[in-house]
């Protein structure tokens, strides 16, 4: 009987990814309108460990900048980037499509509509935006899956993708109608749609952590099944796997991660395409390596993008979605050309 056993995760790959993440975190905390020595920042972060008391050389104001302002934002960036990269890698494996991204099944359209309704109908009360965006994203994924199976028992990846396109178009039309009715909310809506990591503290971090943990545990637990799905449904079934059930669980977990990330950060594109592909170039096609490494590199990537967004045009802060699009759009074109030439 055929057996699918791609290479697993190597320790050297994991250590390299962690090193990149550490550098990104230190840079994200140290650099900004108030520059701080990276070494002192590292010592101050060590002081957060119970029982550790070291002299970082920072005064009380600088310590407050590290622990109360920049650290929550960097941690939020790590979580959002990790979830988007994990979801992108999962979708690419489930649908066997290297161009799949976390917004494939209508998450972006649903979240955008939810945020638009929250801003337009509640006078711009931003505290309600994450909840509405999260609900809209999950509603969109649910409608996509229901539409995908409405015509019969076919739950193939191509059917769900087409359903996602249809639901996205429908929800986008509703969003356009709402914006026309409430034109005074357009500026706030587009500010959210372009993505942001601005946070007033640890609240957003605490909101996303439960969803991030649950989604990551489910997807990582099924990483071997994702390797089997990559060979096709018929082959996967012959190996004892239930393709439709595995696909549903993976899509649900990845969509939950995406919805939570979008709810607290807005729409940040290309992370779910760029990062998994870079990891795949480094490690090969095994999702046992791609998934955990995508999470780490995804966090580092978004922390770095956020650093660029708030420093390249200082004192003005660019939307982080603009930065990721500037990097991701050329990469997407490269992936598209490579995919067509290789007939993937």
Question: pLDDT digit of tens for each residue in the chain (344 aa)?
Answer: 344 445 578 899 999 999 999 999 999 999 988 889 999 999 999 999 988 889 889 999 999 999 999 999 999 999 999 999 999 999 999 988 878 889 989 999 999 999 999 888 875 444 578 889 999 999 999 999 888 887 555 556 778 888 999 999 999 999 999 999 888 888 888 888 888 887 657 888 988 999 999 999 999 999 989 988 877 777 777 777 888 888 889 999 999 999 999 999 999 999 999 999 999 988 988 999 999 999 999 999 999 999 999 998 878 888 999 999 998 888 878 777 776 555 44
Burial of 165-197, coded b for 16+ CB within 10 Å and e otherwise, reads eebbebbbeebeebbeebeebeebbeebbbbbb
Do the Cβ atoms of 265 and 79 come closer than 8 Å?
no
- How far apart, in whole angstroms, are the C-alpha atoms of residue 59 and residue 63? 6
Q: Tokens for 165?
A: 């396109």
- How far apart, in whole angstroms, are the C-alpha atoms of residue 101 and residue 84? 8
Q: How far is CA 115 from CA 131, 222, 247, 266, 268, in A?
A: 8, 32, 28, 9, 14
Which strand (E) or helix (H) includes residue 310? Answer: helix 287-311
- How far apart, in whole angstroms, are the C-alpha atoms of residue 174 and residue 172? 5
- DSSP line for 20-47: HHHHHHHHHHH-SSS---HHHHHHHHHT
Closest by CA to 93, choosing from 261, 339, 288, is: 288
């Amino acid at each position: 009987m055929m057996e699918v056993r791609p290479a697993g995760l190597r320790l050297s790959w994991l250590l390299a990814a962690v090193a990149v993440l550490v550098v990104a975190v230190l840079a994200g905390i140290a650099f900004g309108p108030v520059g701080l020595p990276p070494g002192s920042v590292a010592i101050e972060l060590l002081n957060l460990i119970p029982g550790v008391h070291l002299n970082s050389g920072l005064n009380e104001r600088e310590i407050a900048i590290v622990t109360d302002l920049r650290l929550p934002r960097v941690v939020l960036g790590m979580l959002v980037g990790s979830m988007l990269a994990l979801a992108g890698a999962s979708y690419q494996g489930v649908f066997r499509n290297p161009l799949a991204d976390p917004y494939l099944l209508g998450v972006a359209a649903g979240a955008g509509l939810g945020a638009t309704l929250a801003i337009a109908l509640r006078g711009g009360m931003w505290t309600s935006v994450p909840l509405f965006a999260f609900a809209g994203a999950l509603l969109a994924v649910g409608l996509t899956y229901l539409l995908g199976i409405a015509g019969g028992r076919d739950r193939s990846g191509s059917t769900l993708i087409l359903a996602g396109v249809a639901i996205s178009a429908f929800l986008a039309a509703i969003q356009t109608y709402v914006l026309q009715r409430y034109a005074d909310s357009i500026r706030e809506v587009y500010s959210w749609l372009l993505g942001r990591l601005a946070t007033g503290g640890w609240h957003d971090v605490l909101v996303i952590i439960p969803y991030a943990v649950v989604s990551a545990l489910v997807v990582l637990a099924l990483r071997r099944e994702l390797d089997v799905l990559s060979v096709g449904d018929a082959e996967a079934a012959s190996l004892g796997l239930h393709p439709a059930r595995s696909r549903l669980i993976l899509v649900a977990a990845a969509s939950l991660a995406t919805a939570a990330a979008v709810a607290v950060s807005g729409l940040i594109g290309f992370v779910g395409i760029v990062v998994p592909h870079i990891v795949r170039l480094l490690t090969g096609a095994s999702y046992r390596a791609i998934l955990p490494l995508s999470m780490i590199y995804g966090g580092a990537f978004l922390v770095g993008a956020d650093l660029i967004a708030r420093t390249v045009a200082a004192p003005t802060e660019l939307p982080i979605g603009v930065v990721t699009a500037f990097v991701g759009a050329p990469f997407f074109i490269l992936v598209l050309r490579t995919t067509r030439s290789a007939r993937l």
